[in-house]
Structure 1
Amino acid sequence: MPKKRPTSQSLIALTSIVALSGCATMIHGTHQDISVKSNPADSTIVLDGKTVGTTPMKVSMSRKHPHTLMIKHPGYYIYKTEIKKSSSGAEDLGGLVGMGVDHMTGGAYNLVPSKVDATLLRKPLTGATVQNLGSQNKSGS
């Protein structure tokens, strides 16, 4: 029995499946840069429990799962926000194979918010802090 040769339709179908698989992943990748700014600047950025730098900066985050972002600065309350994933809408272009690839890699999602601009709240001065400030002023006179 002779072997069947692939038809041109089969080759076109196979090529289309491979070319379109992971379409959203190819369009915008598996990571997203989130712009992080704060007032005061030079605050510490903590992403998912790990220090990643200081403000202002762009933080590259995996689109695969949500993240917890904290911004810390001495004398200020910690700012905390959740970066969530939402459907990008581009995953529908690749068919079933593409949808599977996009969901596994995170390419099917956008992270929101796409930027964080935090104003940290100053902690109230304690009695000891006020007393120390007062003694510094007296010694400097």
Structure 2
Amino acid sequence: MGYTELKTYLVAGVVASSVLLAGCGTVVRGTTEDIKIYVEPEHAKITSTTAHTCVGPCVINVPRKKEFTLTASAPGYQTQVIDVETRVSGKGAAGMAGNVLLGGVIGVGVDAATGATLDHYPNPVNFILKRGKGSRKLTPAEIKMMNKAEAPTS
């Protein structure tokens, strides 16, 4: 193998590595996130606007950039609704910094498009259904208070 061929392979390898590492957050964190859902009573049905359905407690996997709503319901209990939003996380910000150092503009674009810099909030999601009929959407203060309480272990 001649010098010209070796040089061509090295350049191709550097270009391929740059493309593969372009989205640091995407590579390290992935484009989806597991959302843990705890509910009392445990037999309550959980539905989401992402078309996931399960019986609590459960875990659903959703795209990092997708905001959605969860609903918990059980016979004899009030239905509760919680909005799950996205926020830039500390780990996502670190991945973005890695892009600036290694991946450049392409990496920033890839991570922004895939949502790799985002985390869902709240996560875990905690429902405590109250006896009775009807439906209610929890206030942000109620969600914050419930998330401060220790989530049940599975």
TM over 0.5, shorter chain? yes
Partner amino acid, structure 1, of 2:127: A
What amino acid sits opposite 2:116 in the alignment?
G
Q: Could you tell me the TM-score, scaled by structure 2's length?
A: 0.67
Runs of 4+ in 1 over 2 A off after TM superposition: 5-17
2:117 is aligned with 1:116: no
CA-CA distance at 1:20 after TM superposition: 2.6
> Could you say which residue in structure 2 is the equivalent of 1:18?
19
**Contact 1:84-1:111 within 8 A present in 2 as well:** yes
Cα contact 2:21–2:27 (8 A) shared by 1: no
The percentage of aligned residue pairs carrying the same residue is 27
SS in 1 for 2:78: coil
Question: Does 2:116 match 1:107?
Answer: yes
Question: For the aligned residues, what is the CA RMSD?
Answer: 2.5
Give the C-alpha shift of residue 7 in structure 1: 8.4
Helix, strand or coil: the match of 1:93? helix
| CA deviation after TM superposition for structure 1 residue 100, in Å | 0.8
The SS at the match of 1:123 is coil
Unaligned runs of 5+ in 1: 125-141
Report how many residues are paired: 121
For 1:29, the equivalent position in structure 2 comes to 30
Deviations 1:28-85, CA, capped at 9 Å, x for gaps: 1111111101110111111116351110111111112211111111111111111111
CA distance in 1, matches of 2:119, 2:23: 15
- Where 2:105 maps in the other structure, the secondary structure is helix
Alignment of 1:120-135 (within 5 A): 120-123=129-132
1:112, 1:51 → 2: CA distance? 17
Residue in 2 that maps onto 1:92: 97
Q: CA deviation at 1:92?
A: 3.1
* Structure with bigger gyration radius: 1
Q: Given the superposition, is the C-alpha separation of residues 59 and 51 from structure 1 closer, same or farther in structure 2, using an over 3 Å criterion?
A: closer
Alpha carbons of structure 1 residues 32 and 75: separation in structure 2 relative to 1, 3 Å:
same
| C-alpha displacement of 1:11 | 6.1
More off after superposition, 11-20 vs 56-65: 11-20
3-state SS, counterpart of residue 50 of structure 1 = coil
CA deviation profile, 1:78-106 (whole Å, cap 9, x unmatched): 11111111112122322211111112112
The TM-score, its normalising length taken from structure 1, stands at 0.73
